[in-house]
Amino acid sequence: MSDNENETSAEHPHRRLNPLTGRHIVVSPHRAKRPWLGQEDTAEASDLPSYDPKCYLCPDNERIGGDKNPDYQSTYIFDNDFPAILDIAHVGQKPSKHPLFQSQNIAGVCKVICFSPDHSQTLPDLTPTAMREIVDSWCDESQKLGKDYQWVQIFENKGAMMGCSNPHPHGQIWATDFLPDEAQTEDDKQRAYFATHGRAMLLDVVQYEREKKERLVIENDDWIVIVPYWAQWPFETLLLPRFSAARLDELNDAQRDNLGAIMQSLTRCYDALFGVSFPYSMGWHGAPFDERDTKAWQLHAHFYPPLLRSATVRKFMVGYEMMAESQRDITPEQAASRLREGHQRDRL
């Protein structure tokens, strides 16, 4: 990474490259001053009850498919009642011989993970013990599913603004017998970087960002959170280990504890930004489960929050973004500064 990146202007439009995907982002800092006359959403209610008798995910309640949840007291994982991918491929579908109309049979499993029995507690509200249970569940499920599937995608959609259909804090785990497009792209780019430089791309990013600190939000003994130089969403962040690790199941006890701690610090930064339970989509990326070497890979989690100016004004990925390439208004450096301010307020 070149030291010349600081020459890009904080006031004038420019274009940045995402080395993980090979795609670009147009940065237009001057547009942050424009008036907003577009859609404003209603801020989501934060005063949820600890238990909702109508919630399909609360302990001891019946789910819409008819199964009943146990009276669980910590994390609870179950097979999704409406999985997007089935565990047996549809063998009757034959591939098309036409080069323009190709498809393939796929198989996988989809699981739901309830973070807590408490309907009202999102990640920043949990105890360190409860947070560690979530981290352990991610690590264990990743290792277990990786024995049978090439890719294990762990993610959370938080908030109705990000398409979450149930406010009970939960995430999902999808395991597939194929490598999805985003994973394939990151795999290609990281392996190409390693072949050229002999180092893991994202470990180089960690070293650079820890030295410059301009986009660093928070860090602890094992983990770092940055607003990436190539961030697409206004307050997008990237969570990275400071040590070499290709997958979640490689983490030791201390690294898992510190992961839970920094995730809670980050989500509290988000909540402090606009004084609301901050919506986002979050997902883990680690090395595919295959026979190849994993030295090029560095474990990481993406956080993609939609909010732009306030709790009710979001960033829309439309028009130019859909037809050409991504565009953002505030710079990643400005976003990191504002998130750091939220972290400082949380520590007072």
The CATH number that applies at residue 147 is: 3.30.428.10
Active site includes 343? no
Domain that holds residue 134: 76-176
Higher pLDDT, residue 32 or 193: 193
One domain, residues 103 and 172: yes
Task: Among 122, 145, 176, give the residue marking a domain's end.
Answer: 176
Q: Are residue 164 and residue 259 in the same domain, yes or no?
A: no
Q: What is the pLDDT of residue 47?
A: 78
Catalytic residue among 119, 170, 285, 300: 170
Among 33-47, 107-121, 191-205, the range scoring the smallest mean pLDDT is: 33-47
Cα–Cα distance between 152 and 173 in angstroms, integer? 7
Residues 260 and 331 in one domain: yes
Over 60: is that where the pLDDT of 33 sits? Answer: no
Query: Could you tell me if 91 and 214 lie in one domain?
Result: no
Q: Which residue has the higher pLDDT, 243 or 162?
A: 243
Q: Which two tokens stand for residue 67?
A: 């199964």
Averaged pLDDT for residues 135-146: 98
Domain total of the chain: 2
Residue 37 lies in a domain: no
Residues 139 and 167 in one domain: yes
pLDDT above 90 (res 124): yes
Residue 1 lies inside a defined structural domain of this protein: no
The answer on 167 and 188 residing in a single domain is: no
My answer on whether 130 and 193 are in the same domain is: no
Checking if the pLDDT of 91 tops 70, the result is no
The CB-side HSE value for 302 (13 A sphere, CA atoms) comes to 18
Quick one: 90 and 216 in the same domain? no
331 and 200 within one domain: yes
Q: Same domain, yes or no, for 147 and 208?
A: no
Q: What is the pTM of this model?
A: 0.92
Please determine, for residue 218, whether its predicted confidence score (pLDDT) is greater than 90.
yes
| pLDDT tens for each residue of 269-310 | 999 999 889 999 999 999 999 999 999 999 999 999 999 878
* Average pLDDT of span 72-101: 87
Residue 51 inside a domain? The answer is no
Q: What is the mean pLDDT of residues 109-123?
A: 97
Residue 68 inside a domain? The answer is: no
Q: How confident is the model at residue 1 (pLDDT cuts 50, 70, 90)?
A: very low
Last residue of a domain, one of 150, 176, 202: 176
Between 93-107, 115-129, 212-226, 265-279, the lowest mean confidence (pLDDT) is in 93-107
200 and 216 fall within a common domain: yes
